[in-house]
Amino acid sequence: MNVTKRVAVSSKGEIAIYKLTNASGASVEVSSLGAGIVSVVVPDANGVMEDVVLGYADAAGYLYDGPCAGKVPGRYANRIAKGQFAVGGKEYQLAINNGPNALHGGPEGFQNQIWNSRVEGDSVVFTHFSPDGDEHYPGNMIVTATYTWSDDCTLSLKLAAVSDADTIVNLTNHTYFNLSGEGTGSVLGHKLWLACSNYVPTDDTLIPTGEIAPVAGTPMDFTTAKTLGEDIKADFPALIYGKGYDNCWLVDGWDGSMKTVAVLTDESTGRVVEVATDQPAAQVYTGNWLAGAPKGKKGCDFADYDAVAIECQGVPDAPNQPQFPTQLLKAGERYDREIVFKFKTL
């Protein structure tokens, strides 16, 4: 594995960008800004290499970007109703930054911080210290994101956190994929399969109602692979609320072990990414609000639906909804989760 490093500047200081290139020439670039994935260059069915991850021409463009492209949001990825939760009987109020709710840990969440970084063999390790009261969350927390790239084009992300006080945590990766290549247009022709027989209905602010609903007979059913665009314009509450898919699906038979939870396929190039995780859920977001994002790596302007994010995580608003798997992290305990993206061809 060849690992190189370059540096970019931003208003928050230097950004370290690492490129990991495997024996076949396929590569991944990861950035210390938000511990993010900024590039994945993999072959199509004919061996043609292309970058399949949405990203920006300017490395500093990832700072405070609306799409949260490629990054690790936190402390709590996704939404918390009204920004309110309780730990140990004490109420906490987060910043409101998404309609009436809190999103992705707040304006100064992990995704907008420059993490410390180092190379360890075929891996890049990012670490970040979040002090007690950071974005109004309790406890001093140390979080780690470890990326490992392999010769068979498998990208592993291991997420870990420890806190000195009881707190909540929900970590994921927010990479947007276009398997035809970044900047090539809509992904609504990509096919998606999910190992998920149930999804989480929401209100019109995208906060879970508390229900767990079967996907059968609804546009939310990806248990048989179908294109992202097949039902996206259906007259269905979830799709109306989000202007497309922006919902959480529950992993069938979740028990904390690694499972393949999603397969995204682009038949036009033959590229496939299989997503495996030990997380209980996956949020699928079809890039419904990508227009207006910073210019892409090829200088293009993005349009809505130009990429799709598959975010393996805990359930949104779980701290307020005990029927969902807990995201409570006890003092001194260790949060450990993994997400794996395996790139292959048909």
When pLDDT is cut at 50, 70 and 90, the band that residue 338 belongs to is very high
> Which pTM was predicted?
0.97
Strand partners, 91: 86
Nearest to 14 by CA among 37, 31, 39, 38: 31
User: What pLDDT score does 240 carry?
Assistant: 97
User: What pLDDT score does 51 carry?
Assistant: 98
User: What pLDDT score does 48 carry?
Assistant: 98
What share of the chain in percent tops pLDDT 70?
A: 100
Nearest to 248 by CA among 138, 172, 303: 172
Q: Kindly report, residue by residue over 70-108, the tens digit of the pLDDT.
A: 999 999 999 999 999 999 999 999 999 999 999 999 999
3-state secondary structure the chain: CEEEEEEECCCCCCEEEEEEECCCCCEEEEECECCEEEEEEEECCCCCEEECECCECCHHHHCCCCCCCCCCCCCECCEEHHHEEEECCEEEECCCCECCEEECCCCCCHHHCECEEEEECCEEEEEEEECCCHHHCCCCEEEEEEEEECCCCEEEEEEEEEECCCEECECCCCCEECCCCCCCCCCCCCEEEECCCEEECECCCCCECCCCEECCCCCCCCCCCEECCCCCCCCCHHHHHHCCCEEEEECCCCCCCCEEEEEEEECCCCEEEEEEECCCEEEEECCCCCCCCCCECCCCCCCCCCCEEEEEECCCCHHHCCCCCCCEECCCCEEEEEEEEEEEEC
Are 188 and 229 within 8 A, CB to CB?
yes
When pLDDT is cut at 50, 70 and 90, the band that residue 15 belongs to is very high
Q: Kindly report, residue by residue over 122-155, the tens digit of the pLDDT.
A: 899 999 999 999 999 999 999 999 999 999 999 9
Are 233 and 188 within 8 A, CB to CB?
no
When pLDDT is cut at 50, 70 and 90, the band that residue 35 belongs to is very high
When pLDDT is cut at 50, 70 and 90, the band that residue 175 belongs to is very high
When pLDDT is cut at 50, 70 and 90, the band that residue 249 belongs to is very high
Q: Which of 50, 135, 182, 311 is catalytic?
A: 311
User: What pLDDT score does 38 carry?
Assistant: 98
CA dist 93 → 81, 85, 101, 186, 326 (Å):
10, 7, 10, 38, 19
When pLDDT is cut at 50, 70 and 90, the band that residue 253 belongs to is very high
Q: Kindly report, residue by residue over 276-296, the tens digit of the pLDDT.
A: 999 999 999 999 999 999 999
Q: Which of 104, 128, 174, 190 is catalytic?
A: 174
The position carrying tokens 């920004």 is 83
Task: Report which residue type is found at 198.
Answer: N
User: What pLDDT score does 134 carry?
Assistant: 98
Mean pLDDT of 164-190: 97
Per the prediction, the chain carries an average pLDDT of: 97
User: What pLDDT score does 107 carry?
Assistant: 97
Q: In the chain, what are the domains?
A: 2-345 (2.70.98.10)
When pLDDT is cut at 50, 70 and 90, the band that residue 29 belongs to is very high
Mean pLDDT of 200-216: 98
Catalytic residue flag (residue 104): no
Give the whole-angstrom CA distance, residue 33 versus residue 337. 20
Catalytic residue flag (residue 108): no
